[in-house]
A and B are shown apart, each in its own frame.
Chain A
Amino acid sequence: MSSLNFDPLQLSIIVSALLVLVTGIYCLIYSRNIIRMIIAIEVMMKAVTLLLAFSGWLMGRIDLVQSFIITMIVIEVVVAVVAAGIALSVYRHNDTLDIDQLDELKG
């Protein structure tokens, strides 16, 4: 292990967080379904949670980062609730979840 000049642990965590983040953003851009877009937001937040935990672990003070993660999770839930509420209201209006139906505002 000492012959390597990089830490495989750091590499694997950073790369997987990046991949999950890219997955979320990709879905946010290409999906046409409102609920799937909300799922994409959640996927992105998971990547960020991993990054936050990693930052604390790197400094050897992960106990401190826990408070960040807990606060973040609470906020994440509320955002999910609001987004689900909007999706529900949109469905009651349009009878569909297709984002292409949301095209009133242009200019």
Chain B
Amino acid sequence: MNLPILLLLLGLMVVAAVAAVMIRSLLKSAIALAALSIVLAITLFFLGAPLAALFELSVCAGLITVIFISAISLTGNKPKEEEEEKIRERRARFLKLPIFLLIIGVFVSLAWIANGINISGISDPAAPTFQTFKNLFWNMRQVDILGQVIVILAGAFAVVVLFKERDQA
């Protein structure tokens, strides 16, 4: 794993996250979120998880962005109607964030370096090697697969219930 590339990706990730939170236009904010997903997907690929990266790219950067953009356009993105007062207040609230993040980042890094922390991941030596990802996913995590089926059902009912126009009652 190439350290400079990873550092660049992680830096981009933090920048994208801060942008998604701070940009005033919701539409641009959603696009920043998509950028965050894309950078995360590349990082996942570099860490050695190509399938998860694929999912992240297609579902999070693609589908979720579509959901957000449709929600934003359906609700009307109208920043112009905001009063000057509110905008100034918002800016004041969110300008603290980068400073806050900088302090946390520096503090945690210093504490980490000073204490020489090293997480030694435990790799179970007796852990059997799964021949393929297919074998692992479909046999060993079948409870999760059932969970996915049920949660997708729930999502379908959410669309039925929540996206309809208001009831007459």
User: Is the Cβ of A30 less than 8 Å from the Cβ of B67?
Assistant: no
Q: What string of 1s and 0s marks CB contacts (under 8 Å) between B1-16 and chain A?
A: 1010011001101100
Cα–Cα, bound, A71→B55 (Å)? 10
Given A39-B29, A77-B155: A26 and B40 interface contact (C-beta under 8 Å)? no
Q: Which residue of A39, A47, A89 is within 8 Å of B30 (Cβ)?
A: A39
Q: How many residues of B contact A (CB 8 A)?
A: 79
Which of B1, B37, B49, B90 meets A46, CB within 8 Å? B37
Contact present for B55 and A43 (CB under 8 Å): no
| A73/B60 contact (C-beta < 8 A), A49-B40, A88-B71 known | yes
Judge if A19 is at the interface, Cβ distance under 8 Å: yes
Taking Cβ atoms with an 8 Å cutoff, the residues of B that contact A are 1, 3, 6-7, 10-11, 13-14, 17-18, 20-21, 26, 29-30, 33, 36-37, 40, 43-44, 47-49, 51-52, 55-56, 59-60, 63-64, 67-68, 70-72, 74-76, 90, 93-94, 97, 100-101, 104-105, 108-109, 112-113, 116-119, 121-123, 127, 130, 133, 136-137, 141, 144, 147-148, 151-152, 154-155, 158-159, 161-163, 165-166
List residues of chain A with CB under 8 Å of any chain B CB.
5-16, 18-20, 22-24, 26-27, 30-33, 35-36, 38-40, 42-43, 46-47, 49-50, 53-71, 73-78, 80-82, 84-89, 91-93, 97
Q: What are the 5 A-B residue pairs with the smallest beta carbon separation, nearest first? A: A85-B162, A58-B121, A78-B155, A69-B52, A5-B116
